[in-house]
Structures are given as C-alpha cells and as structure tokens.
C-alpha cells in the first residue's frame, strides 16, 4: 500500500472538513507545546514524569497544603504572560472564522485559543486566567492572584474574608463544570477533529464517541498514538503548527 505524502494527508483532511456541516475541534496540551508550554505525557518531557499529579494538583492536595500547591502552580500562572498563540491556534481560529468549525472544546487552561480569536470555546478543564475564593466566591484575575501570593508570608493567596483563592482550573477530584455542554456539542458534530490530545484523560476522552455514535467521522492529529486511533477516518502524526495552517491554506484556495 502506497504511503500518503504530507500534502495528500492535508488534502484529505481539508476535504473532510469541507464536506462537514458541523465540525467540532477538541484540543489538548499538544496544541500549546508550540508556544513553549510543556505537555503532560510526552516521554522524557512531560510534566507528569517529574511530579505526581495527585500530590500537587488534586483538590485534596490543594486543601491539605495550598503552599505546596502554589509552589507548583505559581510559575505556570506567571509564565502565561510570556507565551503567545502559535500557528496551530491561529489555524483553528481561522477554521471557525471560515465557518467550518462550529465549536472548540479544549482541555487547555492557558487561554491561548481565546487570545487568538476563537469565539465559541468550551474550557472543560477550566482556566488559569482567574481564581476564586473558596469561602466567599470572590473572583480575581491571574495578575491579582500572583500579587497576593507574593504579598503573603506563607506564599498563599488569602482573600479579605480569610478564605484561600484557587485558580479556576479543574483539579483531580473535581467535577467538570462544562462537561454537559461539551457532550451536547459532540453529539451535534458530524466531524470531530482532535488536535494535540492523548485522549487518555477521562471523561473528555469519550467525547469523540458521541460524534461517532451518530454516524460522524473522527480526525486525529497528534504526534503520539492514542487509544482511539483505530476509530479515526485518518490519523495525522505531524507537527500541528505546520500541518493545520496547510489545511487552512487548501480550504482557502481550492474548491472541491
């Protein structure tokens, strides 16, 4: 069997997108690696190779030791001011602008999709751009959170009411607040494009199945293999920052 060239893959993905009536994109950490944000599971590079997520990023860990929690999270929150959207973010936003992508579901908490111009975004794992007091519910910005950490002797961001601020991210042990909305959009989809996701984190990894169950098709763009590769119409193991812009270029220039 003849191996497809990269351009043939680009054309095939573009054709699937062109023929779709309701395409939904699901993104994971692999979209943001091109912006300098490390992912979680890449061998030798992933964050979880260096730290046990349940020890520092679970709800129990936050409640037990907010100081240790912020030792891990503070540099990540601060670094978001120094990173910028990459060509993959831009390509996804362009697909929405062109009318092909109807909704973007993201596992990422870095706000880069919104900064690029994506409009309909469901953040299933929350966001680092805001924090909420666990006692009174007051919300503050990431910049205000960093300021409160630095002003505290314990390096813990306290609210005026005495409560502790927690980033609006979904920690291990917490429910996903926007899961129902993500499921609804996945059920509407006749095409789901997963980009930069290992598809290993439950329950988000089940979203493509809702699309498939209604007869939709699945495109997977990810360097590493995923558990759902065998269900995909096409699996692309290319750099998302170069592959997706080429797909957009074809959609802008070629009439099928």
Active site residue 89: no
DSSP bridge partners of 27: 106, 195
| CB neighbour list of residue 158: distance below 8 Å, 6 or more residues apart | 148, 152, 164, 165
Strands 234-236 and 217-221: parallel
Note the helical H segments in 52-158. 53-56, 59-64, 66-79, 87-97, 112-116, 142-151
Q: Counting Cβ atoms within 10 Å, is residue 29 exposed (0-12), middle (13-18) or buried (19+)?
A: buried
The C-alpha atoms of residue 240 and residue 244 are separated, in whole angstroms, by 6
* Token digits of residue 111: 């706000």
Identify the active-site residue in 89, 113, 125, 178.
Answer: 125
- Active-site residues, by number, are 125
């Amino acid at each position: 069997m003849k191996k497809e060239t990269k351009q043939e893959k680009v054309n095939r993905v573009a054709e699937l997108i062109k023929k779709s009536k309701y395409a939904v994109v699901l993104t994971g950490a692999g979209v943001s690696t091109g912006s300098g944000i490390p992912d979680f599971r890449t061998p030798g590079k992933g964050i979880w190779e260096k730290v046990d997520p349940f020890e520092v990023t679970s709800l129990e860990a936050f409640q037990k030791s907010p100081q240790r929690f912020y030792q891990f999270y503070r540099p990540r929150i601060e670094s978001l001011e120094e990173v910028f959207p990459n060509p993959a973010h831009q390509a996804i936003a362009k697909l929405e602008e062109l009318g092909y992508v109807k909704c973007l579901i993201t596992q990422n908490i870095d706000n880069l999709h919104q900064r690029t111009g994506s409009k309909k975004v469901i953040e299933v794992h929350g966001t680092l751009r805001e924090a909420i007091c666990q006692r009174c519910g007051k919300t503050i910005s990431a910049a205000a959170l960093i300021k409160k950490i630095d002003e505290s002797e314990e390096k813990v961001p306290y609210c005026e009411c005495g409560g502790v601020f927690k980033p609006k991210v979904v920690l291990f042990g917490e429910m996903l607040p926007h899961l129902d909305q993500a499921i609804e959009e996945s059920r509407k989809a006749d095409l789901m494009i997963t980009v930069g996701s290992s598809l290993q984190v439950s329950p988000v990894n089940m979203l493509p199945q809702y699309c498939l169950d209604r007869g939709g098709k699945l495109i997977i763009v990810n360097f590493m293999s995923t558990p759902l590769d065998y269900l995909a119409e096409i699996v692309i193991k290319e750099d998302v920052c170069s592959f997706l812009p080429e797909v957009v270029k074809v959609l802008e220039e070629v009439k099928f």
